[in-house]
């Protein structure tokens, strides 16, 4: 492993432990040359994924790009970093286990939106505004109206009514 501080090749692992969700190994390393310390994460990769963009261009899948997008959407929101990491890991696992090595970018965006909706409504709207390319304020209004309509459907008290219960 190359040291990110000085570029030297000689680094050693000081400590290894699994992450809280057991999807990665966190390794604490130090550089033999500059004595700098840094952390790396080792994750299982089931298959090499390629993202197919809307214009047909193919690029290598980058987990960090999803993580950055989600972090931007969740900026200044009360969501723990571990929840974000678990969400991104879940998305990556779902993509890797789907059986396809080429994944449309739209599918990734939809998965992120689906998970953000259950995690934080504000982040969901923020992400959607970029993903769906909102151009005007009324685009936000229409999207929020759609979100409120969906919420009303799931909050319907009749949905929880058990016909066998006596009133």
Note whether 40 and 57 are same-domain residues. no
Note whether 56 and 121 are same-domain residues. yes
Rounded CA separation 1/57 (Å) = 31
Domain assignment present for 127: yes
Contact 122, 70 (CB under 8 A): no
Domain assignment present for 149: no
Domain assignment present for 65: yes
Average predicted confidence (pLDDT) for the chain: 81
Note whether 13 and 78 are same-domain residues. no
Strand 50-52 and strand 102-104: the pairing is parallel
Note whether 115 and 54 are same-domain residues. yes
Per-residue pLDDT at 14: 92
Domain count, the chain: 2
Per-residue pLDDT at 67: 92
Note whether 50 and 104 are same-domain residues. yes
Domain assignment present for 153: no
Note whether 59 and 13 are same-domain residues. no
The pTM for the full model equals 0.60
Domain assignment present for 83: yes
CA angle 135–131–96, rounded 5-degree value: 170
Note whether 66 and 94 are same-domain residues. yes
Phi first, then psi: give them for residue 11, nearest 5 degrees: -125, 155
Per-residue pLDDT at 130: 80
Report residues of the chain scoring pLDDT below 70: 21, 44-47, 150-167
Note whether 89 and 106 are same-domain residues. yes
Residue 128: give the domain boundaries: 46-134
Note whether 83 and 28 are same-domain residues. no
């Amino acid at each position: 492993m190359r040291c990110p501080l000085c570029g030297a090749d000689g680094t050693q692992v000081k400590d290894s432990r699994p992450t809280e969700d057991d999807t990665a190994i966190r390794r604490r390393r130090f550089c033999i040359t500059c004595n700098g310390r840094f952390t790396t994460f080792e994750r299982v990769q089931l298959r090499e994924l390629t993202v197919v963009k809307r214009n047909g261009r193919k690029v290598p899948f980058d987990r960090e790009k999803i993580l950055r997008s989600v972090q931007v959407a969740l900026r200044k929101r009360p969501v723990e970093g571990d929840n974000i990491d678990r969400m991104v890991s879940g998305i990556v696992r779902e993509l890797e286990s789907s059986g396809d090595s080429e994944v449309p970018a739209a599918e990734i965006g939809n998965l992120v939106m689906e998970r953000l909706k259950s995690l934080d409504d504000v982040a969901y709207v923020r992400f959607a505004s970029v993903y769906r390319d909102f151009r005007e304020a009324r685009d936000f209004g229409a999207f929020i109206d759609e979100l409120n309509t969906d919420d009303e459907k799931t909050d319907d008290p009749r949905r929880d009514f058990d016909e066998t219960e006596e009133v």
